[in-house]
Structure formats: C-alpha cells, structure tokens
Chain A
C-alpha cells in the first residue's frame, strides 16, 4: 500500500517520535542521517538476500544503478566501516527515516514505512546486548505501550545447526523438525544478518511484530572493516496503529 498520512495522524506520529528521540538522546545516542537512495553496487554488499530482492532500483541520469534504501542499518554499518573506520568506538547512533520495500514481505507492511532505531558499535558481548535490550524496553515504556513482550533467542546458535534443521527453523516448519517448538524457536531470525542475540517486540493482540533487533557482528566487514555491532528498530507505522488501538491516542 502506498498512502498519504494526514492530520491528526501526522501530529500523533510526531509525538511518538519525540518521546523515542528523547530516550535515545538521554542514553547518549547521536542522530545520523543517511541518503534516501544510493548506489546499489555499494549498498548491496551488506544487504541480506531478502532485502535485495525487495528493493526498488532505478538508473540515474548517468546509467548507474541506484537503490531506494530498504533498510537503514545497512547504511549505518557502511558509514561505520568506511567514513568512520578510524574513529575509535564505541559509536552510538540513532536514526529516524523512511525505508522502501516491495510489498508481500510481511503482512501489514506498506511500500514505504518509517523506521526508528539505534546502532551501537564496538561494544562486544553481553554488555552491548544488555545496553540495547534495556534501551528497547525503555522505548516501549516511554510511548505507553501496554501488554508488550520482548522475546529473545540466539541467532548464533541457530547458525551452527545442520543446514536442513536451520532451513526448517527459518520457515517455522516444525513438522519437518518432527517436534513442537520451544518458545525461543518461534522467533523468525534473519540469519544473514544476525550473529548472536536476536529479539522481537510484540503485543499479544496483534499478528505482527512492532520492532526487532540483535547483534550483527559481520555486517561492517562486508564494507571493509570488522566491527561488533548491535541495534534495533521499531516500525513507527505499526507502533502508531497499536497505540491507537490500545486507546493511547
């Protein structure tokens, strides 16, 4: 769906964004702005398969293939591995912007939707993960979401499973696995991206997730410099819809 956002929804979204940004800034995260479109050959080095095929691409006036960003994390990883390669970590960034994906990837997904999130570089292991999880919890509290849940799993562990089991788990096919799932196995992890912790935030009454995140230590390496990284993003459109449904408007 492509749509216009009109008042009073615009004001309502602005209010939610304002609350989230205040939490980010208090936690020491600085805003980063990346381009809406950029050269496909550059960004695709770090884009997982499913985002490559879901991206809008076009040629610029010189015949260079460009991509409308389907994801902002990949762009920030590019910056951290190139322009800021020499800057000593930890680096803390937040972003707020629209991303573009062809439909059908997820239900309730518009072609253009707003992501707001953070990336933390150079804090490896549990301490980085704890910081990010705490921040995600602070976000859902700050916007007044009710009955929220954050469930986590270990993508790194899934990566090490035999190929057939890994594929079945990614398709959520427990018939092939021959047993009923454990709770942590119900998180559909994108294994091209995540290397360790992976978590999802949702509310019981909605059939889709509101935000997700985790550790992605290999993404920066795709752009030339290995840097441990962990982060998350919330989908503003879905967050606004759920908050409205919960009567928080």
Chain B
C-alpha cells in the first residue's frame, strides 16, 4: 500500500481525476468530506491535508507520495524528491502594487511588503539588494496595499482577476508554478519499484 497526500481545496478534484485516469476507483461514498480514504483495491491510501502541509507529510514519510504546488515546495524548502510536473494548478508568484504607484526598476528602500510567501519574498528582495519590511499574512493579501497596511504585495495569481478587482497591477513575476508529484526521499529508494510504476502511469496521462 502506498500513502499519498493531496491538497484540500480546488486542486483536489483535478488530482483525483488524474488517479481515476490511471484506473483507480473510489467508493461512491462522499470522499470529498473525508480526510482519509482508500481506493477500491485498497492499494492506495489518500490523506487530504492543507496544501502547505502536503510536503511536510511527505518529508516525514507519513505519506510516501504527495501532490503539491511548486510554489509551496519553493517556499518551504522541504527535502523531498520531485518526480513529475503534473501541469495543472498553474499560477505565478508576482510582485504587485496599486495601479501606477510603483515601478519595478525604481522601488524605494524601506518598502513594506505583505505576503504569505516570506521566504520567497526575502530571497527576491535580497537579489534586488533592497532592504524591505516583510509583513507575514495568512490570507486576503490583496487587501493590504488597498488599505495601507503595505506598499506592495507578493502573492500568487492564477488569472489575475482578483488583483484587477482590487485596483492592483503586476510589477514583476518571481516564478511560475504547477502541481508536482513528490516522494519521500527514503521511500523513493526503499519502495522504488512501486513508486516508479505509479509515476510512469501518471506521466502517461498528465
């Protein structure tokens, strides 16, 4: 049996579809509300956790495999093995501000930056050699520059609609992200054959 951690939320359906495509069946009972369930053969066990927690479950080996966004892997710097790009869940980490307020090439020092992605943000401004004040938020980051909590934000955008609706514009793109199939570093070795067989099947349909 392999244990696979999946992200709760809007990516869950896409992830489950992927497993259905390779021939897995799930009992009809409402799996969307369960935190833990098996496929019909009992060969695969799924854990449904917060997106940021997926690599944690995998790093500690509680889950053998997981599906996590590249954004979360880059932010958390977890020691996991990255096997496949699953090409769904596309998003970009961007620097954004109120329309017309700043330009990327003339950002002033001492800027206040609101973000959920403190590590990625710190690395970005270090590369620009700019001293900034980071404000860690856990949600509704787009609100921060509108209400004066911060000058700019670093946040994920998929379509860019939320930014637009709040009168914000993208100044720079920091990276692009898609969902990845990840494995625990020891399990990838100790259960190599099983994990690679599954990865190969997924690769064909991803």
| Chain A interface residues toward B at CB < 8 A | 106-108, 149, 151, 171-176, 180-181, 183, 186-188, 200, 202-204, 206-209
Contacts and interface: CB of A to CB of B under 8 A. Distances in A.
B83 A106 contact: no
B85 A175 contact: yes
Interface of B: 59-62, 79-85, 180, 184-192, 196, 199-200, 203
21 contacts: A149-B190, A171-B82, A173-B82, A174-B81, A174-B84, A175-B84, A175-B180, A180-B199, A183-B189, A183-B192, A186-B189, A187-B189, A188-B185, A204-B187, A206-B61, A206-B186, A207-B61, A207-B62, A207-B186, A208-B61, A209-B186
A182 to B, nearest CB: 9
A20 B187 CA distance: 26
A172 B190 contact: no
A172 B185 contact: yes
Q: Which of A180, A186, A202, A207 has the most chain B CB within a 10 Å cutoff?
A: A207
Across the A-B interface, give the 4 residue pairs with the lowest CB-CB distance, nearest first. A207-B61, A204-B190, A172-B81, A175-B85
Q: Is the interface of A mostly helix, strand, loop or mixed?
A: loop
Nearest to A168: B82
B80 A172 contact: yes
B85 A207 contact: no
B82 A175 contact: yes
Given A206-B61, A207-B59, A180 B83 contact: yes
A147 B85 CA distance: 32
Given A186-B192, A204-B191, A207-B62, 11 more contacts: A172-B79, A172-B188, A174-B83, A174-B84, A175-B180, A180-B203, A186-B81, A202-B189, A202-B190, A208-B61, A209-B186
